[in-house]
Amino acid sequence: MRQGFGFVIATMLIACSSTNMPGNPNDEQPDASIAGSGGGGRDGGPADAAIIVEPPTFTVVSPTINVTAKSDRTYCYYFHMPNTANVSIKKWASHLTDGATQFTLFLTGDDKQASGTISGAPCGLMSNPDSVAWSYSADIPDAEMVLPADDGTGRPVGMAVRAGQPAMLQIHVVNPGDQSISAHVELAGYAHPDGIAVTLAAPYVTYNVDIDLPAALSAATPTRDTVFGDCVVDPAAKFFSISIHTFKQAIHTFIKDKDTMVFDNANWQNPRQASWDTTPFFSFASRKISYQCEYANPNGYRIQAGDLAAKDEMCVTVGYYFPVEESPDHFSTGHYCLDSQIIR
């Protein structure tokens, strides 16, 4: 398991110093900058190579959530990004403690709730369709998303985050046990150095609200539904990642570029993604993202589109692409396609 945040760079050191990450909820201060030491050689020559772990530009730790026994809940934590200057993110990294099964980072155009608020009220794309950018998500304990280091012209790719950017973490917590547990989410952002020319990236998101699964007569005879859509996309958009996110009733999802299968998945819990990290990346030659989600509902209650994993469903395509024009406020919501209609 990866410990802490950061990617590893080998370098020659004469002297070492350490930089700690901001404290976790227990006020622990793990060393996030240096692994190893730089002792001299036997003949008094140069120091041995040591391993430096790059410290994140900023970190965010959600409040601790008390996850009661036999519970399945979704919370939203509203906050402002801690960076004091506009930055372009080259990597996101995250850690989920036991009880936290999935989370999504949304950058928002304004405050959806007062900064510092954590709420069990529904949040996400269904509840906040305007000025919300699905910017990063994870469904395994330790994950990261590294943006391409070269857009094909020698420039690195980055995701814009303005100083003090309003944001929210949608956090799904599950506790099948008999005792309450505590859970939280840790998020780290790594920015390109100041002065580096960066090609900006943004999310391309589709959402379908037509999901309607009637209550099943029994678990052995689930009700079924399929939703799909075609969303217009610029063929010049270069995608480096794309996936579909659903809740637990999904049995099969896919994305096509006309007849070309781009993404095909039958594991709703860990869908992963199709990804391209070098040129030519992926462009939709047909000018359309065609997606489909298939569901089976074994429950004795009706399920429709919504933000709560315990009782709702979703069919959300999430792709990341470039280039994006520089925004005056250094923030791009990207493109959002609702039921085959481009909203923004």
Helices (H), 123-237: none
Q: Over the stretch 59-90, which tens digit does the pLDDT of each residue have?
A: 999 999 999 999 999 999 999 999 999 999 99
Which residues, other chains included, contact 295 with Cβ-Cβ below 8 Å and sequence gap of 6+? 211, 213, 224, 225, 226, 246, 249, 250, 251, 303, 313
Cβ atoms of 25 and 184 closer than 8 Å: yes
| 125 compared with 15, residue with greater pLDDT | 125
- The chain-wide mean pLDDT, for the chain, equals 85
Q: Over the stretch 225-241, which tens digit does the pLDDT of each residue have?
A: 999 999 999 999 999 99
Mean pLDDT, rounded, for 186-199: 96
How many angstroms separate the CA atoms of 285 and 141, rounded? 36
Residue-level pLDDT at 36: 28
Closest CA to 146 of 24, 10, 8, 271: 8
Report the length, in residues, of the chain.
344
Which residues face 178 on adjacent strands?
A: none
Residue-level pLDDT at 175: 97
Closest CA to 339 of 299, 291, 295: 291
Q: Over the stretch 324-333, which tens digit does the pLDDT of each residue have?
A: 987 766 778 8
Mean pLDDT, rounded, for 11-17: 29
Q: Over the stretch 87-140, which tens digit does the pLDDT of each residue have?
A: 999 999 999 999 999 999 999 989 999 999 999 998 888 887 667 899 999 999
Mean pLDDT, rounded, for 167-183: 97
Residue-level pLDDT at 329: 66
How many angstroms separate the CA atoms of 75 and 82, rounded? 21
Is pLDDT at 3 greater than 60 in this prediction?
no
How many angstroms separate the CA atoms of 182 and 64, rounded? 6
Is pLDDT at 171 greater than 50 in this prediction?
yes
User: Poorest-confidence range of 140-144, 181-185, 201-205, 339-343?
Assistant: 339-343
Residue 90 exposure: Cα atoms within 13 Å on the Cβ side? 19
SS3 labels along 293-317: EEEEECCCCCEEECCCCCCCECCEE
Residue-level pLDDT at 255: 98
Walk me through the domains of the chain, giving residue ranges and CATH numbers: 1-55 (no CATH), 57-200 (2.60.120.310), 202-342 (2.60.120.230)
Residue-level pLDDT at 164: 95
Is pLDDT at 160 greater than 90 in this prediction?
yes
Q: Over the stretch 33-44, which tens digit does the pLDDT of each residue have?
A: 222 223 333 344
Is pLDDT at 317 greater than 60 in this prediction?
yes
Task: Give the percent of the chain with pLDDT over 90.
Answer: 73
